[in-house]
Amino acid sequence: MGRLDGRVALVTGASRGIGAAIARAFGREGARVAVNYHRSEAKAAAVVAAIEAAGSKALAVQADVADGPAVRAMVERAVAGLGPIDVLVNNAGIADATPLDQMSEEVWDRLIATNLRSVFLCTRAVLPAMLARGRGKIISVTSQLGQKGMPNHTHYAAAKAGVIGFTRALAREVGPRGIHVNAIAPGPIETDLMGPITDEFRREKSAIFALRRLGLPEEVAPTAVFLASDDSSYYAGQTLCPNGGDIMA
């Protein structure tokens, strides 16, 4: 028996990195998983195949999660193929490093749309059915940069801090109606979102972490499994931080 047996999960940005690791972990725990992707169809298909090889059911669903009509269509396809959504993981995101005095409005708007607007759109799309059933889990992947900031990442930090605020407010709004809303704020994780990681970067970052290394996507996924399962039944509005001991609450 898996911890997510009989549940349906939708994971955005699930063709690679943290999202793919979460989707695969959900499949191993018995969930049926809708694997969202934007452009990486082949990578999404590989994640679906891995979930099916683990004995569960999965479906790849394409959508730009910053586009409202596309999000609604994605949720409809996921429900038609797998059943009502019990767990939403808002994971899709992009990164960029630009000094604020050199940042265009287009760069700002694009990152805010993908990293924050998408959380609103996807959550809004699944929430009515969750409220009607009186249960559901909404998990958003934010970042420790939303807590501590970083030079040249004002847009990214603003979006990720916004996700934390969104999580806390929504938890108070829908918690009384049986919906659990929480977030995950990983530290630096070795994914392609970070771009090429040099040995020098690894040394500099690792030197300040208690565990002296960067994390792996597979080390974030168990936190999502926990928040999606009944084990987190008394968690609401929380931001859990698998970060190797960088920020310590």
DSSP string over 195-209: -SPPHHHHHHHHHHS
Q: Is the C-alpha dihedral spanning 160, 120, 224, 20 positive or negative?
A: negative
pLDDT of residue 201: 72
Tokens of 134: 């009186």
pLDDT of residue 240: 98
Neighbours of 242 (CB within 10 A): 18
Q: Is 134 exposed, middle or buried (0-12, 13-18, 19+ CB in 10 A)?
A: exposed
Structure confidence at residue 196 (pLDDT): 59
Q: Helix, strand, coil proportions of the chain in percent (round to 5)?
A: 50, 15, 35
Q: Is 204 exposed, middle or buried (0-12, 13-18, 19+ CB in 10 A)?
A: exposed
pLDDT value at residue 199: 72
Give Rg (Cα) of the chain. Answer: 17
- pLDDT value at residue 210: 85
Residue 110: CA atoms inside 13 Å, Cβ hemisphere, count?
9
The kind and range of the H/E element at 92 are none
Which pLDDT does position 188 carry in this prediction?
A: 87
How many other CB atoms are there within 10 angstroms of residue 151's CB atom?
9
Give the residue numbers marked as catalytic: 156
Report the run of H or E that residue 175 belongs to, with start and end: none
Distance CA 184, CA 193 (A): 16
Per-residue pLDDT, 233: 98
Q: Work out whether strand 179-184 and strand 239-240 pair parallel, antiparallel, or are unpaired.
A: parallel
pLDDT of residue 206: 75
Residues of the chain with pLDDT under 50: none
CATH number for the 8-240 domain, one of 3.40.50.2300, 3.40.50.9100, 3.40.50.450, 3.40.50.720? Answer: 3.40.50.720
The domain locations on the chain are 8-240
